[in-house]
């Protein structure tokens, strides 16, 4: 099996156009592959944006078969994965840096460009791993508040660029708000900003975007621009616990980043990633189940009359009306774990998609706690 052509599949499946709206909710007209669902769990873990259905059966089988090589260093099986990723992204293997989850890639980039000082520009709130790590090494972070629609304020971020700026961090779709930048504005911003400094595009949730023509900023890497893109196997592939991701950058940049990769990954994760890239049925299954779960979340929030952001990810950011530090323990008492605080939005909560059983627990718990 070849790596899935995501754009072609989205167009064929009609994910961006095959929604029927009933009472403000969307249901997708698409057959779901016959894949075992996760077993029922009395606790709905909806706080870390994980895929509860993975790894797939094929990936688990491949990992089991790989235990004989677990006594060997990863170099034994590393090259084929590099080649697979390079083929998928349309670049050379010299463009790829494999990491222990995309978080290691973010931290290595922060260390590479901000060790001893320098400034980073990022939205607020957004995923913080790069920034908090770089601050330990002397970086200063310009945190630019999101706009009225909870999206990146690219205009204001552009105004913050100065001679000390070493990195601009863009998480798109954004975590925790779930918003997606206009593709033309994103491309124009990245082109302009990359002429002044390095641009980092965190695309952990890229697979959940339903617009088949939405570009990855890897397109700008191919144009030899100062752009770094991170990808992960933690989300759509359901491999968060295996810790494997990768960076895509111009070869000279990739070489520099590679020097600050510390943990890298392991034999089992590498073999799992190789299999995940060709397990097209599970990929489609994950996307489909994620849409179903989001619709269930939207229904709960609509029932309660709560404001929320239309999400392009595997989580939903919604307004609770009460402090998150109060809501979290209340929901935990009902066996539902929800996202952490994201200042300054203390009266908002992030809820990850889960199994349909998880969504039922969430519905029951939130209605009990808030009414």
Q: What is the pLDDT of residues 34-59, one digit of tens each?
A: 455 555 678 999 999 999 999 999 99
State the pLDDT at residue 32. Answer: 46
**What DSSP assignment string belongs to 95-127?**
GEEEESHHHHHHHHHHHHHHTT--EEEEEESS-
Question: What token pair was written down for 308?
Answer: 């929320």
Quote the CA–CA distance of 113 and 338 in Å, as a whole number. 34
| CB contact set of 339 (below 8 Å; sequence gap of 6+) | 46, 47, 48, 176, 315, 324, 349, 350, 351, 352
Are 352 and 359 in contact by the 8 Å Cβ rule? The answer is no
N-to-C CA span, the chain: 50
The pLDDT assigned to 10 comes to 79
Q: With respect to CATH, is domain 57-276 assigned 3.40.720.10?
A: no
What is the SS3 string spanning 127-140? CCHHHHHHHCCCCE
Q: Could you tell me whether strands 25-28 and 19-22 are parallel, antiparallel, or unpaired per DSSP bridges?
A: antiparallel
pLDDT computed for residue 39 by the predictor: 57
Q: Please tell me the predicted confidence (pLDDT) of residue 34.
A: 47
* Cβ–Cβ < 8 Å for 272, 63: yes
Which regions in the chain score pLDDT beneath 70? 1, 11, 13-40
For the domain 7-54+280-370, what is the CATH code? 3.90.1150.10
Which pTM does this prediction carry? 0.93
CA–CA separation, 166 vs 78, rounded Å? 31
Beta-ladder partners of 19: 28
pLDDT of res. 18: 40
To the nearest whole percent, how much of the chain has pLDDT over 70? 92
Instruction: Parse the chain into domains and list their residue ranges.
Output: 7-54+280-370, 57-276
């Amino acid at each position: 099996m070849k790596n899935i052509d995501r754009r072609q599949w989205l167009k064929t499946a009609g994910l961006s156009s095959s929604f029927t709206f009933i009472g403000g909710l969307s249901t997708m007209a698409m057959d779901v592959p016959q894949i075992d669902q996760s077993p029922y769990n009395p606790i709905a873990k909806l706080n870390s944006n994980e895929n509860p259905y993975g790894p797939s059966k094929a990936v688990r089988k491949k990992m089991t078969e790989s235990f004989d090589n677990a006594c060997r260093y990863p170099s034994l099986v590393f090259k084929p994965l590099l080649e697979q990723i390079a083929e998928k992204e349309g670049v050379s293997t010299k463009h790829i840096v494999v990491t222990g989850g995309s978080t290691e890639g973010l931290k290595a980039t922060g260390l590479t460009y901000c060790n001893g000082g320098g400034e980073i520009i990022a939205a607020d709130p957004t995923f913080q791993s790069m920034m908090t790590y770089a601050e330990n090494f002397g970086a200063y972070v310009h945190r630019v508040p999101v706009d009225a629609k909870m999206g990146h304020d690219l205009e204001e971020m552009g105004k913050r660029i100065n001679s000390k700026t070493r990195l601009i961090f863009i998480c798109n779709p954004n975590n925790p708000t779930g918003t997606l930048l206009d593709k033309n504005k994103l491309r124009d911003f990245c082109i302009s900003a990359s002429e002044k400094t390095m641009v980092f595009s965190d695309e952990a949730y890229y697979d959940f975007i339903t617009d088949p023509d939405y570009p990855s900023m890897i397109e700008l890497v191919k144009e030899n621009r100062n752009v770094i893109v991170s990808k992960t196997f933690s989300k759509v592939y359901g491999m968060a616990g295996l810790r494997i991701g990768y960076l895509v950058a111009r070869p000279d940049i990739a070489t520099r980043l590679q020097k600050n990769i510390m943990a890298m990954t392991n034999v089992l994760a590498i073999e799992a990633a190789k299999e995940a890239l060709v397990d097209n049925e599970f990929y489609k299954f994950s996307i489909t189940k994620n849409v179903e779960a989001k619709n269930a979340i939207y229904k709960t929030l609509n029932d309660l009359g709560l404001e929320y952001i239309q999400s392009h990810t595997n989580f939903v950011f919604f307004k609770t009306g009460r402090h998150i530090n109060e809501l979290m323990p209340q929901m935990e008492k009902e066996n539902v774990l929800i996202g952490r605080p994201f200042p300054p939005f203390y009266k908002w909560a992030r809820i990850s998609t889960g199994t349909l059983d998880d969504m039922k627990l969430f519905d029951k718990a939130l209605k009990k706690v808030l009414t």
